[in-house]
Amino acid sequence: MGKRRWWLWWMVVAVGVGVVGVAAIGTRSGAGEGEGKVKVLEPLVTRIAFGSCANQSDPQPIWNAIIDFDPQVFIWLGDNVYGDVKRPFKLFGKERTVGPWKNAPRFIPSPPKELESRYQKAKSNPGYSRLRHTTQVVGTWDDHDYGLNDAGKEFGGKITNQKLLLDFLDEPQDSPRRKQEGVYTSYMFGPVGRQIKVILLDTRYHRDPLRSDGSVLGSSQWTWLEKELNGPKSAITIIGSSVQVISNLSATTRPLFSLESWGRFPKERNRLFKLIADTKREGVFFISGDVHFGEISRYDCSIGYPVYDVTSSGLTQAVEKAVPHVFSLIVRFVAWLTPTTMRVISKNCRFRSCTYGQPNFGAIEIVWSTTPVTLKLEVRDIKGYPVTGVKLPLVELQSRGLMPSVKAGEYRRHCSLEVNLPWMIKYRLAILFYCSVSVLLLAMIGLAYAATLAFRLFLHKCKLD
């Protein structure tokens, strides 16, 4: 009996240590809290998944593919639930929510109790529940879980909604995130020499109005970010932003429509790139969401080495789901036609545009056993198959000394900004649209004239008879 007790005792100790190791995959660094306490074990991290834009009321079969990918970490990049209320599309009537004579908002905030119930519905989703039991889940927010579409620092419900998000993420009650203004944070995963630092930004709490070219992060978050980038080195640094950092499609889709991105705050984006370059941080790339399609962008003229932005959006919300199936080919054609200087174009893409407008998630794989270390960045579909991706040696994300530059009037892919494209190229989508509408109107006028003429001839013939 004595030997049996000792054997059982050592089994309990071994299982307990294993549980602690799984539960403590990463260490945390909050606002001004340093790198946190070192955990018992720091397992090697080789797979990270991320996603955004998950409507809690829609079916979410994509969790099966994410679970099959078997990530050690899952990162929410915002719109984790849709907490605001989208009012009906009304062009006419007493309350008009769209059009040049719009007099009522299209989106309104939900009461806190309603937002809380939507979080509970999302958290109880069977697929997501399975993921939470096997994977460490971290995240930030975007506008719809922040509380209001396209909202920034002016939104009054942000303090209450911050608590609701942190409850959804199972944030400890004594976490610095519950005391600071904003949900930004960072984590360090893996053993020394093979560490992955994940920095999650808050692009809502302190953001100035759109078109202001003001601040995205606010002074306190900028101070914190500088400290994080100057902190202990890591083999890889992943910066999570709810909105795209590199791609600025609004420069080429206006005046038809626009998207939120760092590109609409050019001073802030330049400051971000300069901070990364000044801190000499290597192995940096971005992940983002928000836009309801997936793509990978690359910028070669910013921080001394190519920097990637892997956009995955969304887990349920996607541009091709917003239109009838018969119009999917038109959506793909528009995506191909839209000018872009930063998107990674490859023969391995599912579609010619190298965008993906159906539900998707992001997948990061690190092969530490190869020399040099290999990094695979992908956007995957609802079945887990890649739709676009890049595979590169980690040494590619290291400073090369001289920074590539572009002369005025010169075009260089992955270096020239979309706003600097010749106007005929930059606005070709709008030109095609307005020309098509004009041709359609002329055709309708022509048909109406022909019908009128035929009717008059018919009447004249009747009179003669």
pLDDT exceeds cutoff 80 at 437: yes
Amino acid at 120: Q
| pLDDT reading at 393 higher than 50 | yes
**What's the whole-number mean pLDDT along residues 412-439?**
92
Q: Angle, to 10 degrees, between the axis of helix 112-123 and the axis of helix 158-168?
A: 20
pLDDT tens-digit readout, 334-382: 999 999 999 999 999 999 999 999 999 999 999 999 999 999 999 999 9
Where do we find the tokens 């190869």? 370
Report the amino acid identity of residue 223. Answer: T
Confidence at 135, pLDDT banded by 50, 70, 90: very high
pLDDT for residue 444 is more than 60: yes
The CB-based long-range contact list for 363-370 (8 Å cut-off, 24+ gap) reads 363/47, 363/48, 363/49, 363/69, 363/71, 364/47, 364/48, 364/49, 364/50, 364/238, 364/287, 364/310, 365/46, 365/47, 366/45, 366/46, 366/47, 366/196, 366/236, 366/394, 367/46, 368/44, 368/46, 368/194
β-pairing verdict for 73-77 and 47-51: parallel
Mean pLDDT within 125-147: 98
Residue 131, SS3?
helix
For residues 134-148, give the mean pLDDT: 98
Number of helices (H) and strands (E) in the chain: give both, helices first.
Answer: 12, 15
DSSP string across 188-233 = EESSTTS-EEEEE--SSTTPPPTTS---SS-HHHHHHHHHHHTSS-
Does the structure show a pLDDT above 50 at 13? no
Per-residue model confidence as pLDDT tens digits over 49-99: 999 999 999 999 999 999 999 999 999 999 999 999 999 988 888 889 988
Confidence of residue 39 (pLDDT cuts 50, 70, 90): very low
Does residue 15 carry a pLDDT above 50? no
Integer angstrom CA distances of residue 71 from 40, 143, 396? 21, 26, 24
- The two tokens of residue 243 are 């909105």
Checking if the pLDDT of 8 tops 60, the result is: no
Average of per-residue pLDDT across 301-306: 94
How much is the average pLDDT of 409-419? 89
Q: What is the pLDDT of residue 465?
A: 67
| pLDDT score of 26 | 64
Please report the pLDDT score of residue 462 as a whole number. Answer: 85
pLDDT of residue 23: 39
Q: What is the pLDDT of residue 409?
A: 72
- Which of 120-129, 282-291, 357-366, 422-431 is predicted with the least confidence, judged by mean pLDDT? 422-431
What tokens appear for 191 in the block?
Answer: 């053993």
Would you state the pLDDT for residue 25? 57
| pLDDT tens-digit series, residues 150-203 | 999 999 999 999 999 999 999 999 999 999 999 999 999 999 999 999 999 999
Helix (H) or strand (E) holding 20: helix 2-23
| Confidence class for position 41, pLDDT limits 50, 70, 90 | low
**Higher confidence at residue 309 or residue 16?**
309
Beta 196-200 vs 236-240: how paired, if at all? parallel
What average pLDDT does this structure show over 131-149?
98
Q: For the chain, what is the mean pLDDT? A: 90
**pTM for the whole thing?**
0.90
Q: In whole angstroms, what is the distance from residue 99 CA to residue 342 CA?
A: 32
